[in-house]
A = this chain, B = another copy of it.
Amino acid sequence: MKGASLEILKHNHLSVTESRKKILDLFLANIGALAHADIEKNTGVQFDRVTIYRTLQTFVDKGIIHTIPTADNSVLYALCKDECEQGHHHDNHIHFICDTCNITICMDHITIPVLKLPKGFAPKRSDVVVSGICNRCN
């Protein structure tokens, strides 16, 4: 798992820089989603806030990570699974937020049931945010 971040960067035609590698490593090492603050604290090296903003944006643009809608409207990011590509994200996500430890997990493998909407509504994409107690806190 040493060069995973490097692989991902190359595969997405991004220049390989220390910040990108370290930030990507953080995502790879983490089960849960990360906030900007988590990244600022845990990269080991101190990167400029602006660099982190720009790196996250780049990763989102390339489809490497995606943002997670949260009830408290904090901004969270999580790794995309393989199905995601640039400009063409996997359209359905289930995210689980633990009320206890606050971890946010992206459950890509669970499929979202089809919803019956009122007449005239044409759904394109669904995000499901489930909160409760996670498996480790239970």
Contact = CB atoms under 8 A, between A and B. Distances in A.
A120 B134 CA distance: 6
Contact of A69 (B112, B126, B127, B132): B127
Main secondary structure on chain A at its contact with chain B? loop
Oligomer copy total? 2
A130 B117 contact: yes
Interface residues of A, number: 39
A67 B74 contact: no
A76 B72 CA distance: 10
A71 interface: yes
A7 interface: no
A122 B107 contact: no
Contacts of A68: 71
A138 interface: yes
The 6 residue pairs across chains A and B that have the minimum distance between CB atoms? A120-B135, A69-B69, A124-B132, A113-B113, A123-B132, A122-B133
Interface of A: 67-75, 94, 96, 99, 107, 110, 112-113, 115-136, 138
